[in-house]
């Protein structure tokens, strides 16, 4: 496949729209109601009303992580002028645990897209230490790259995304 990529984060334009290229180095599992999130899968708003269960790998409890969940397609994929919309921000998550062991800086807000198919992206960064990441002033026009740079988080260590549209919507995201 010359010139192409099979990386679903590239195909789904998460790499480019939200993140720079990176190598995943920590396992992260995201699930809603016992259904795992895999890159590009589809969920309806009723399935993601409550915050997901997330488990973070690693083997050193002295390592802490920041979890970010954003929608780069707000308010609509054809005019994403609120890109990125911050749905969740949790810091100080110890390795081998999940968000419930961290500090919820921005509470989970369930995605409720009104127009088109949106991507919800979960990104995990390794922190340099504890209590080194603080809340942004607002949810709209959040920028994952700038946030990571501001707090010296470096490149992500894991990421996964799913597609979502309004409850009565149908069809999948078209990849060109």
Domain ranges of the chain: 22-165
Look at residue 45 and tell me whether its pLDDT is greater than 80. Answer: yes
d(CA 23, CA 123): 12
User: Which of 12-16, 132-136, 162-166 has the lowest average pLDDT?
Assistant: 132-136
Longest dimension (CA), the chain: 45
| pLDDT single digits (tens) 101-132 | 999 999 999 999 999 999 999 999 999 888 88
d(CA 146, CA 81): 17
| Sign of the torsion formed by the C-alpha atoms of 152, 157, 163 and 164 | negative
Look at residue 169 and tell me whether its pLDDT is greater than 80. Answer: no
Look at residue 176 and tell me whether its pLDDT is greater than 80. Answer: no
Contact 65, 126 (CB under 8 A): yes
What is the tally of helices (H) and strands (E) in the chain? 3, 9
d(CA 118, CA 140): 15
Phi, psi angle pair for 150, to nearest 5°: -55, -40
| pLDDT single digits (tens) 48-71 | 999 999 999 988 889 999 999 999
Look at residue 29 and tell me whether its pLDDT is greater than 80. Answer: yes
22-165 homologous superfamily: PEBP-like (3.90.280.10)
d(CA 36, CA 42): 11
Beta-carbon count within 10 A of 142 CB: 23
pLDDT score, position 170? 59
Strands across the sheet containing 158-164:
41-43, 158-164, 118-126, 64-71, 85-94, 103-106
Contacts of 22 (CB under 8 A, 6+ apart): 15, 155, 156, 157, 159
């Amino acid at each position: 496949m010359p010139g192409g990529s099979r990386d679903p984060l590239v195909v789904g334009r998460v790499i480019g729209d939200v993140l720079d290229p990176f190598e995943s180095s920590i396992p992260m599992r995201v699930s809603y109601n016992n259904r795992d999130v895999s890159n590009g899968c589809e969920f309806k708003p009723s399935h993601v009303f409550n915050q997901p269960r997330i488990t973070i790998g690693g083997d050193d409890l002295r390592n802490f992580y920041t979890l970010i969940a954003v929608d780069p397609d707000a308010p609509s994929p054809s005019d994403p002028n609120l890109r990125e919309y911050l749905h969740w921000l949790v810091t100080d998550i110890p390795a081998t645990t999940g968000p419930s062991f961290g500090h919820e800086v921005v509470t989970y807000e369930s995605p409720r897209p009104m127009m088109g198919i949106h991507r919800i992206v979960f990104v995990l960064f390794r922190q340099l230490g504890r209590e080194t990441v603080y809340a942004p002033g607002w949810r709209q026009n959040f920028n994952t790259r700038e946030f990571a740079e501001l707090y010296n988080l470096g490149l992500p260590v894991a990421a996964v995304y799913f597609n979502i549209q309004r409850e009565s919507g149908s069809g999948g995201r078209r990849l060109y």
